[in-house]
Structure 1
Amino acid sequence: MTKKAGLAGFLLLSLAVLNTFADRNDKEVLKRISSIEVVALDSVDGYEKRYRIPNENLNDLFAEKIDSLLNSWYMQNVFEMPVGEALQDSQPIVAIPDSVYINRLQAIDSYIDLSYNKTVKNFIELYTQRRRDQVEMMLGLASFYFPIFEEALDKYDLPMELKYMAIIESALNPTARSRANAVGLWQFMYGTGKWLGLEIGTFVDERRDPVKSTDAAARYLSQLYKIYKNWHLVIAAYNCGPGNVNKAIRRSGGTRDYWAIYYRLPRETRGYVPAFIAASYVMNYYNEHSLKARYPDFPIVTDTIMINSYLHFDQVSALTNIPVEALQALNPQYRMNIIPAKKEKHYALKIPIESVADFIDNEDQIYAYKRDEFFPNNEIINPKSRNSYHVSSVSGKDKVLYTVKSGDNLGFISEWFHVRISDLRYWNNINRNLIRVGQKLAIYVPQGQADFFAKINRMSFAEKQAYKKKTPVTKAVSASTQTSADGKFVYYTVRRGDNLWSIARKFPGVSNNDIMRWNNIRNANKIQVGQKLKIQTRS
């Protein structure tokens, strides 16, 4: 992600020195790039303008972002990755007439001009045909994030379609980090984030907070619009900074038209507005391309609890039965699973709505649970320090050796073996998170489970991702299940403290959405103790 300018970028607007001459590189670009006629669809005034702009294929810039997402730790942990599922992205490209795209774009109620040209078409094909799997994940994530975006945009009286910018910025991955170290759903650089009032520290990075980062993005967009009064220029300036847009305007004779200054913008920004238009298209017409939302495997309906003292995710998980992975997915702003709250500074914790009552009923016990272990002397300590966390005892545990494979990282390995990253570091004398392919890691698992975890060494990456949710059958689980006569289903008896999320975690490859579908459940809060749920087991 190109660095976004902060206050300094806005000060550039007041400079009186104008440069009306293009530099040599700009002239060479103009010579190299051929032009095609483009129709700009103005849905506000209802008339068409015609421009001559480059016919460029800039898909490589954004395809790389989307591809990096598929193998990110976040995506692998909030989506089910069934073993052996074939990717759709290898399907042949189907030619669709330009008139179809133009008519559909014209039909979208958009305050922002949705122009159509060859570059836009290339991005539409990227989203609808070349990266179908990733787009289906984004469609699922949109059901969680778009309401947050829309509330902020409404607060600042901004066009709702600006929510599609986050698709281009991060592919709706709140933990996304660019090569330039821009972070979060809205990809803020450190300086810009601090300038907009976001907290960025050891334990909290509000660039990753969906609510606070979205509010900051809306404020930033609002300020940019006061300067440019043109949404295409605002979107471009969000990507490359006002300084680069101002230079492009000056070098184009002062015109404030995105397509007229197109040649003068950085390459990534030249693709940014077309990619935005394509994202607007696919989010409105995904059904016409047989795209179906893949919903994330974390509770989408949530509520917020205000925390007023130091709290670790493990404390919450132990007494509410909310898996730590769910807490991480819902609260990505907490970098070390620690909420550094104090009486004078409270922090928000999102939890599944069905678990709110459990948290409130057990709030004192949650704060007190293993308090001395997580916060000795009631002080917060940096978990990265060798002596700053409690190391799990290896007494009475079985040792398993795991050989590091290409693509592995400590986050994945800790999930597969159900251990903490801090323990992996301690057991293997790992500095930071540095591991190498072929390295053998010693991992200590509960006694009697060595054979169960040893199988992981022989699995593919996809198999390990599916296997991570499988646990050795315990008496509690087996006593609560019975197999159907045909062996295709098991019937799980709901126990006290269960919710659909915790039940799904007992069965590999099963999500809470699957359980709702198999049992015709419309309200996840309505399951009752003693109720039998039909579950289709997956190997």
Structure 2
Amino acid sequence: MIEDVLKEEGVPLELIYLCQAESAFQPRALSRAKARGMWQFISSRGKEYGLRQTWWIDERSDPEKSTRAAARHLKDLYQEFGDWYLAMAAYNAGPVRIHRAMDKTGDNSFWKLADKRALPKETTNYVPNILALTIIGKNPEKYGFHVEPEPALETERVPVDKATDLRIIAEAINLPLDDLRDLNGHVLRWTTPPDDSDFELILPKGYAEKFNQQIASLPASKRVLFRSHVVRMGDTLGGIARKYGTTGDELAQANNLGAKRVLRAGQSLIIPMSGISPIVKVASGAKSTSPVKTVTYVVRRGDTLAGIATRFHTSADKLKTLNHLSSTHLTVGKKLLVTQTAQTASRKVVHQVRQGETLDRIATTYKTSVDAILSWNETNDLSVIHPGDRITIFVGDNN
């Protein structure tokens, strides 16, 4: 696929080794600088070349689309610098930095810029690394490598304009779920994006017909059962986010609310479920001898140690001790251990989901909360539920 795209875009086939240097051909590769995909696009550069990035998908991890974007970017860099070595250096360091090095030294040769140490060390090594990979890749036996290429995986794409659970698709077309997810690294959630006429799902060649037979005509009610919230008069985005243990930003992104984030009474919101271990709400009559459970919380933008402590009914000092923190400073993405107290005066019930049920309705039935249900089922992905799913619930003796 990569060679085909490079040919179509009119760039040297040897640039495939730039991809190897960037990510070892891993579509889900993510760098410390948040560059993503086989070609390691940063967010702004990806958008510049048409790679969409939403709460649902990130096309920087779409192998074919990102390869085409990389080829066009490299072609633009070649037209800008007139030299493939400088184009590759600019791909790594950015064109502005290469121009500055050229202006500073008066040289327009990568090798001279490298000799004069006008380039970052990483960039100075970057181009030779790609050349070394190219030399070895063209004649691996000469350098002691025995390579037996696997047959190329042929794929085809099908449009999916309605939110559809990947598990439903995999089961319907008799394709292992892991295979489907591996092919679709650009899909960030368990479901395809809703109301997206431009979205395409990648399938092994020969599966499109089965998909069209089994999925294309499937009504929305049978494609996925989202955890949702119907907006009531007086609801705010922040209030809804706090209720479900998520953030206003994630709610806005998941529901395409735009910059103004206006809510309407009766509007149905999709509730994001990833990134947080929800709170267990302990009943007022719960015994003080309740067992304590340790879970993981992922720090989000705007979090404070005191805020997290309040959310989990603990103290900032206890969180600092548990996580060996020397200060209250937090970084986004850091994982914190937090303790939760579970109810003891309760019995375990396994609820089998029925058609049309939501987590809100199930929680109401058992006189508990959605957050509690989520905490009892942490090993399961309850971002969507389906008829027949089994959910563990602990109910009080008076239920």
Alignment of 1:45-194 (within 5 A): 147=1, 149-194=2-47
Measured at CA, do residues 385 and 255 of structure 1 come closer, stay the same or move farther in structure 2, by a change above 3 Å?
Answer: closer
Cα distance in 2, alignment partners of residues 349 and 215 from structure 1: 17
The answer to whether the 8 Å contact 1:311/1:338 transfers is yes
1:87-138 deviations in Å (ceiling 9; x for gaps): xxxxxxxxxxxxxxxxxxxxxxxxxxxxxxxxxxxxxxxxxxxxxxxxxxxx
Aligned to 2:260: none
In structure 2, the partner of 1:281 is 135
Q: CA deviation at 1:366?
A: 4.8
Letter in 1 for 2:272: P
* 2:95 is equivalent to residue 206 of structure 1: no
1:264 aligns with 2:118: yes
Partner SS state of residue 112, structure 2? coil
Aligned counterpart, 1:336: 189
- Is 1:384 matched with 2:273? yes
Q: How far off is 1:274 after superposition?
A: 0.5
Any idea what SS the aligned residue of 2:202 has? strand
2:28/2:185 contact within 8 Å kept: yes
* Aligned residue among 351, 360, 363 for 2:203: 351
Residue number in structure 1 paired with 2:324: none
Amino acid at match of 1:273: V
> How far apart are 1:207 and its partner, in Å?
0.9
Paired residues for 1:204-353 under 5 Å: 204-252=57-105, 254-262=106-114, 263-288=117-142, 289-293=144-148, 300-342=153-195, 345-353=197-205
- Higher relative helix content: 1
TM-score by length of 1: 0.42
The total of aligned residue pairs comes to: 259
- 8 Å Cα contact 2:163/2:224 also seen in 1: no
The offset of 1:269, in angstroms, is: 0.2
5+ unaligned residues in a row in structure 2: which ranges? Answer: 231-266, 277-292, 299-332, 341-347, 351-399
SS state at 1:349 partner: strand
Is 1:315–1:367's contact at 8 Å kept on the other side of the alignment?
A: no
Structure 2 CA distance, aligned partners of 1:258 and 1:386?
44
- The change in CA–CA distance for 1:227 and 1:379 in structure 2 (over 3 A counts) is same
Matches within 5 A, 1:513-524: none
Whether the 8 Å contact between 1:181 and 1:189 is mirrored in structure 2 is yes
8 Å Cα contact 1:341/1:347 also seen in 2? no
> Partner amino acid for 1:360?
N
Q: Point out where structure 1 has 5 or more consecutive residues left out of the alignment.
A: 1-146, 388-401, 411-431, 447-539
Contact 1:336 1:383 (C-alpha < 8 Å) held by counterparts: no
| Aligned-partner SS, 2:15 | helix
Structure 2 letter corresponding to 1:278: A
TM-score normalised by the chain length of structure 2: 0.56
**Aligned counterpart for 1:373 among listed residues 189, 213, 225:** 225
Give the superposition deviation at 1:337: 2.5
Q: 1:203 to 1:363 in 2, by over 3 A?
A: same
- Measured after TM superposition, the shift of residue 218 of structure 1 is 1.4
**Cα distance in structure 2, aligned partners of 1:380 and 1:285:** 56
Tell me, in whole angstroms, the C-alpha distance in 2 between the residues paired with 1:435 and 1:329: 29
Q: Deviations over 1:260-296 (max 9, x none)?
A: 1102110100111111101112221223323335759
Aligned partner of residue 207 in structure 2, secondary structure: helix
> 2: distance between equivalents of 1:367 and 1:267?
56
CA contact (8 A) 1:175 1:183 kept: yes
Partner in structure 1 of residue 353 of structure 2: none
Alignment-mate amino acid for residue 273 of structure 2: K
| 304-313 vs 349-358, greater mean Cα deviation | 349-358
Task: Indicate the residue corresponding to 1:468 in structure 2.
Answer: none
Compute the displacement of 1:225 (Å). 0.9
**1:197 alignment partner, one of 47, 50, 62:** 50
Taking the aligned partners of 1:171 and 1:409, their CA distance within structure 2 comes to 31
Q: Does 1:362 align with 2:214?
A: yes
- Aligned-partner Cα distance in 2 for 1:434–1:382: 22
2:18 and 2:130 in contact (8 A); partners too: yes
CA deviations 1:402-460 (Å, max 9, x no partner) are 999xxx999xxxxxxxxxxxxxxxxxxxxx994769x9xxxx9x9xxxxxxxxxxxxxx
Query: Per the alignment, do residues 379 and 312 of structure 1 end up closer, same or farther by CA in structure 2, a change over 3 Å counting?
Result: farther
Q: Deviations over 1:339-366 (max 9, x none)?
A: 1142x62311111224333212212465
Evaluate the alpha carbon distance shift between residue 382 and residue 194 of structure 1 in structure 2; reply closer, same or farther with a 3 A threshold.
farther
Tell me if structure 2 keeps the 8 A contact 1:316–1:366: no
C-alpha deviation, 1:306, in angstroms: 1.4
Mapped partners of 1:277, 1:243: distance in 2: 23
